[in-house]
Amino acid sequence: MRFCFAVAALISSFSMTAHAEDISETDLRAHIEILASDDFGGRKPGTEGENKTLQYIATQWQQAGLVPAAGSSSWYAPVALVDRTPLEQTVRFSRFKGEREKTIRIDDDQIMLRSAMQSGRSTNVPVVHVGYGNQSADALAKAVSTKLAFIFVSSPIGAEDFPSYRERKAKVLAAGAWGVISIAGSEARYPRLARRFRRASTNINADGYHAGMEGIITEAAAEKLLRKAGIDYKQLAKDAASGAFSPVETGVYADLTSSTRVRSYQSHNVIGKIPGRKLGSGAVLFLGHWDHLGECRREPAVDRICNGAVDNASGISLLIETAKRLVKDRPDRDIYFLATTAEESGLLGARAFAADPSFPLEDLVAVFNVDTVALAPDGKLLAVVGRGKTDLDKDLEKVAAAEDREIDKTDKANAFLKRQDGYVFLEKDIPAFMITSAFSDQERLDSFLNGRYHGVDDEVDETLLLGGAADDANFHVALGRYFGSVDTYPLKDGGNLGTNSAGE
């Protein structure tokens, strides 16, 4: 009975402190107006806009009282990036019929190639079709090592919790494929993929992130290649979706060349820390991406800058103001703040951090990603990206109840699970969430995604909704206080930091 009274008193105390020093719309707007101004040029990594953004974030956190946490007393953790833009190519596929070599003609408008280096070339490389590339690592290694792998981009129709294309392609690369050619899911999809492929593609500049040769091909061209090799494409696709599929040696060989513009450069994550009072009690991490698209239109357009006010100057403003409040609390646990680069290019800054963290990831009890928060007039209803994927849902509901907030129980927001930085931590079995009122109204969210999103219109104007963002900011302060305290959130089982079912 005494335990129940103690818990009730604890929750009451938590509720009373969580509302102090509320973050206002004015607080958030002040940062957004600076970060999303034309002077920051759209915050594209590798530009002067990056330098201004990094300095602004680090200065704000330093003034708030955080300490640098990127190592060697620095705020900045370098992230090596590389841009690759396809220029020219030659393509020749062939097969042997008896002792005679037969060319299989594929037109240039049906395939597009990009090499890892400025010049890439292959001769008589065997082509193997891996289906969806979701076989075991051993099976893939035996099938694709030093070969050219064809892989379906789309997931099987009706498949739930199927690995993403990025995950499947990464497995094929890790298995030692010399090249990877991705098959567009339909003829209508190829032009969209080709437009994207034709632009500069950004990735981490390290081994394992790009094959010697990568490309995309139309479904009709892939079907033709297999038909000439005596393989039924539709049957192969059906077999690949069955779950009992083994990679198929096609008997086709590839002679490919590609010239590619390659630009290597260094970007940065920004990392700050509120030191905890109790050593060994774990840590909490708040993160959000600082980058956007830079100049996204060409002349003669007058407005050429994608300013990214909502995506994600709003999230960075939330992190700055949340840090200001939490630093005054002297929490039990270390609380880290991470502003990541190159999220727009595939969560690259978060992936670089997870691969080389400045503190042990196993210390983390919870991770909260903040992205695109300025879309709701108020924050009464909260969508939780990551709900149902860890054992912390009850704790989130407890904080919501104390803050008079309601959690959306439909889990629709999980459609964005793999599209945000928090997923990088879920992949490593660390409880991670993106909690925001901005994703609680599907119609309003769709209106943004189909309109201002990634466009020159995502800027600070009278339509910017910050009521929900301010409520969300105060909720993140409450999250920091709850998970930063060993009283409200003690380590479970003497050190179990939570379980994660994201990979199930």
Q: What is the pLDDT of residues 118-176, one digit of tens each?
A: 999 999 999 999 999 999 889 999 999 999 999 999 998 877 778 889 999 999 999 99
pLDDT for res 500: 41
pLDDT for res 493: 57
Average pLDDT in the chain? 91
Name the segment(s) of the chain with CATH classification 3.40.630.10. 15-82+264-483
**CA distances to 100, 152, 272, 286, 429 from 355, in Å:** 49, 27, 18, 17, 14
Alpha helices in 261-368 (DSSP H): 314-326, 348-355
Q: List the CATH code of the domain at 15-82+264-483.
A: 3.40.630.10
Name the segment(s) of the chain with CATH classification 3.50.30. 83-262
Longest dimension (CA), the chain: 88
Q: For residue 242, give the DSSP letter.
A: T
- Terminal-residue alpha carbon distance, the chain: 38
Q: List the CATH code of the domain at 83-262.
A: 3.50.30
Cα-flanking dihedrals φ and ψ of residue 36, to 5°? -100, 15
Kindly report, residue by residue over 203-250, the tens digit of the pLDDT. 999 988 999 999 999 999 999 999 999 999 999 999 999 878 999 999
Given a cut of 90, is residue 261 above it in pLDDT? yes
pLDDT for res 98: 61
Q: For residue 156, give the DSSP letter.
A: P
What is the pTM assigned to this prediction?
A: 0.89
User: In angstroms, rounded to a whole number, what is the distance separating the alpha carbons of residues 31 and 37?
Assistant: 10
Percent of the residues in the chain that have a pLDDT greater than 90, as a whole number: 84
